[in-house]
């Protein structure tokens, strides 16, 4: 059995990319993983991947550990759909142990080097699905986790939390996620529910590979010069966090995924040790709440 046998997880935005990689690892470790996303049919999006295909791969990866995938088409900008998702998890599983808030809408002109006033206000969609959606999902998750007295909420962020990256809205979104997750930790601590933020470096998602191939010259050089990780690398770190009996000591903190991986002795799928980009990209702001002055 895997280290997460009997655990129930929800990974948002997992049709492809980082979310998919995380879902596969959690299933491989024995978790029942609810996979959400907006792509139901191949061809609905310009890149491959659907919620159904991710769930099917979760079933395959979890066949020896008891892990499985459950596909749920869900737009995390739709509060009613999100409420229905959590109602289903509670009804079918009776618990929720891990929430990974990964869903994030990237504007089409993200890489265009224009001033914020030259870009449309519709780019605020990154706040709708990326910040507000994190709060809504955590709100529902906490209603399950707090009464059961356990749980882990993980937000996926990055160095844009402190270093200018691509756009005002993008950077502000990532900064907001870190502060939100830290303050949630304060209020969740009495219920033994942990809340942490992971800072990703360059992750070789389908979108990142496509962008590198088509317009790598527009991407931030300090990002493209990093050693990129696979989409499963953060999943390995999250699995270790979820199995860590002292996870509450980390609650409220922002952590560089590569640094946590080294702490836990985790490599990428090919054995590569992913280096931290702290020296060139900046340092996390929020420390675990147990380390903060009272």
pLDDT, tens digit (0-9, with 9 covering 90-100), for 156-193: 999 999 999 999 999 999 999 999 999 999 999 999 99
Position 204 scores a pLDDT of: 83
CB distance 51 to 73 below 8 Å: yes
To the question of pTM greater than 0.85 for the whole model, the response is yes
Query: CA triplet 201, 254, 194: central angle to 5 degrees?
Result: 125
Position 83 scores a pLDDT of: 98
Given CA atoms 57, 202, 42, 100 in this order, what sign does their dihedral have?
positive
Give mean pLDDT, residues 210-235. Answer: 70
Position 293 scores a pLDDT of: 60
Query: Which backbone phi and psi does 193 adopt, to 5 degrees?
Result: -110, 125
Mean pLDDT over each residue of the chain, to the nearest integer? 92
Given CA atoms 127, 129, 130, 136 in this order, what sign does their dihedral have?
positive
| CA 282 – CA 120 distance, rounded (Å) | 29
CB distance 19 to 37 below 8 Å: yes
Name the architecture of domain 8-291: 3-Layer(aba) Sandwich (3.40)
| CA 110 – CA 170 distance, rounded (Å) | 8
pLDDT per residue as tens digits for the range 98-135: 999 999 998 889 988 899 999 999 999 999 999 999 99
Percent residues over pLDDT 70 in the chain:
92
pLDDT at residue 66 tops 60: yes
Please state, as a whole number, how many other Cβ atoms lie within 10 Å of the Cβ of residue 291: 11
In the chain, where the domains are located: 8-291
Is the model more confident about 204 or about 72?
72
Element of type H or E holding 264: helix 257-264
């Amino acid at each position: 059995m895997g280290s997460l046998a009997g655990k129930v997880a929800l990974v948002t935005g997992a049709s492809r990319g980082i979310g998919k990689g995380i879902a596969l690892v959690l299933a491989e470790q024995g978790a029942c993983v609810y996979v959400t996303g907006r792509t139901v049919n191949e061809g609905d999006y310009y890149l491959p991947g659907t919620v159904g295909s991710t769930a099917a791969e979760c079933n395959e990866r979890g066949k020896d550990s008891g892990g499985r995938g459950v596909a749920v088409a869900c737009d995390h900008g739709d509060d009613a759909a999100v409420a229905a998702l959590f109602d289903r998890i509670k009804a079918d599983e009776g618990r929720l142990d891990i929430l990974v808030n990964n869903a994030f809408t990237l504007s089409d002109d993200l890489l265009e080097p224009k001033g914020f006033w030259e870009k449309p206000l519709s780019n605020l969609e990154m706040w709708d699905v990326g910040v507000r959606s994190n709060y809504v999902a955590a709100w529902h998750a906490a209603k399950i986790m707090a009464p059961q007295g356990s749980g882990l909420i993980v937000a996926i962020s990055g160095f844009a939390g402190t270093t200018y990256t691509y756009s005002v809205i993008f950077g502000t979104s990532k900064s907001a996620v870190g502060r939100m997750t830290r303050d949630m930790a304060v209020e969740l601590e009495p219920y033994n529910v942990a809340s942490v933020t992971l800072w990703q470096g360059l992750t070789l998602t389908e979108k990142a590979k496509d962008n590198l191939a088509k317009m790598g010259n527009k991407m931030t050089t300090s990002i493209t010069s990093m050693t990129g990780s696979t989409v499963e690398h953060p999943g390995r770190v999250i699995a270790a966090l979820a199995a860590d009996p002292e996870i509450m000591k980390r609650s409220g903190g922002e952590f560089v995924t590569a640094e946590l991986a080294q702490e836990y002795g985790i490599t990428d799928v090919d054995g590569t040790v992913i280096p931290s980009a702290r020296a060139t990209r900046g340092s996390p702001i929020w420390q675990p709440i147990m380390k903060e002055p009272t």
